[in-house]
Amino acid sequence: MTSLHADEAFLGHYQLSHDPFAPRVPGFKFFPAQRKPVLGQLHHLARYSQLLLVVTGPLGSGKTLLRQALVASTNKQSVQSVVVSARGAGDAAGVLRQVAQALDVATAEPNAILKQVVQLGLTGQEVYLLVDDAEQLDESALEALLALAAGTPEGRPHVFLFGESSLIAELEQISGDQELFHVIELQPYEEEETREYLAQRLEGAGAGIELFSAQQISDIHESSDGWPGTINQVARDAMIEAMIASRTAVKRPKMGFTMPKKHVLAISAVVVVAVAAAWLIPGRSKAPTTAGAPTEQAQLPLGKPTPNVEFANSGQPTNLPMVGQPVMRGPLAEEAGGISEGDDGVPVEGSSATPPTVTTTAPPAGVPAGQPAAVAKPTPTPAPTVATAKPAPAPVTKPVAPAPVAKPAPAPAAKPAEKPAATVAKAGAAGSSWYASQPTGNFVVQILGTSSEANAQAFVKEQGGEYRYFKKVLNGKPLYVITYGNFSSRAAADSAIKTLPAKVQAGKPWPRTVASVQQELATTR
């Protein structure tokens, strides 16, 4: 399924104007009560502190949203905000190049940048330097940013780093005993804040919080630990799971004797053609006989149909009349009862609704082509009649013989389906092929997400074959999500979590449907 079709199915089912849990939703400005003091603290420290400011939290904790709020809440006339991304440019040269370009400085060096900051200060403008994904900065970049934050007696920029907690250890190693930075750690949402967050997300897309029950909201909060990025993911998984459950609950009506109109019409047409052909075949009219000269017509036994017609598709006798033979009603009844239908109402290949290939065998010896079954001349005994009918059983077995030819058809289909899945499961590698081949109703356990594919590969290699990972996009950036196992129910996945190693359980893994993973893979493509 393409990302367009996947989104259309999701949005159409809930009648949403857009995906309420997409990473980037235009106009979304949810800011819980606990974040407002953090924003105020950043403004206060920017004005009165001489230290570099660090905002930390796990992936999906709302660091980028806070950075956006900080930029939006500044006075544009008195503050020039320079936003820098460390992704793909984590060394000093890459960072300074971005800063120099934003400030229109010819030389990408700390001294040249500081001179420009002083010049802007003389015109009444401060410089806010905000760095996203700061955990990807190397030592040289951190040293350059600390030098910019220290500034000169004449002026300095206010430097903000937004990154994961691993950033703190690197800064401490560079700073030593000096106090060069201040850390603000973001806290997860409370359950009521999670509810408000979900409500605002859904209302923006034209829905309401009533889509989730109180128990579902509690489960979403518990599974996400209150981090907004994970709330988005868990809530979307819950909606997709409910959508799939509601669709599979609608049962198709049983066929019985009620068939689609097009099939009834097709059968009626076959009957009409059969009756017309029976009247028009040669030899239908009775031949005149000479008075006193009795004639006898040899006939085949009516209890057994003549095996002169073979079906290549279904292996059943044709419902068209054979030349010189009575029209058989039995095969037509079998055709009517044997029609099967695919999921979209189209007859399945090999069913009786598929037009059969008809192969006629040669007539018995002594009977000219196109003539009815042999008419014997008057004889003293009925021996010729028996002799004419006797060859009939011999061809009976021949048309039946092709039936075993259809047997090999199902056999090859089963074998190739198992091998790729088993191979991928053994490898425990990344990619959508394994997840795409699993039933949508199954569950996997999500262990963790990391922005480094090398870290994901190392983790999977260390833990073993039941661990796999796939690539998705979160907040416009690649995220490598590690999962464990493959379970037929949520209860089985919950039980498996309790058996995981302690260090894996420390990350609070949670069960999710394979359908939700497939949806993310389709959206990522």
Task: Assign 3-class secondary structure to 496-520.
Answer: HHHCCCHHHHCCCCEEEEHHHHHHH
Q: How far is CA 294 from CA 114, 152, 288, 362, in A?
A: 127, 132, 11, 30
Structure confidence at residue 462 as a pLDDT band (50, 70, 90): confident
Has residue 295 got a pLDDT over 70? Answer: no
Residue 290 has pLDDT above 70, yes or no: no
**Cα dihedral 286→290→294→296 (10° resolution):** -30
Average pLDDT in the chain = 73
- Which pLDDT tens digit goes with each residue over 31-54? 666 678 888 889 898 888 889 999
* 154 or 24, which is more confident: 154
Q: What is the pLDDT of residue 332?
A: 38
Residue 512 has pLDDT above 60, yes or no: yes
Q: Is the pLDDT of residue 293 over 80?
A: no
Four-residue CA torsion sign, 39, 43, 48, 52: positive
pTM greater than the 0.85 cutoff:
no
Are 513 and 446 a contacting pair, CB within 8 Å?
no
Distance CA 121, CA 78 (A): 9
Residue 333: phi, psi to the nearest 5? Answer: -65, -40
pLDDT in tens, 153-182: 899 999 999 999 889 999 999 988 888 999
Section 355-373 average pLDDT: 44
What percentage of the chain reaches a pLDDT higher than 90? 26
pLDDT for res 433: 84
What domains can be seen in the chain, in order of their start residue? 50-185 (3.40.50.300), 417-524 (3.30.70.1070)
Query: Does residue 297 surpass a pLDDT of 80?
Result: no
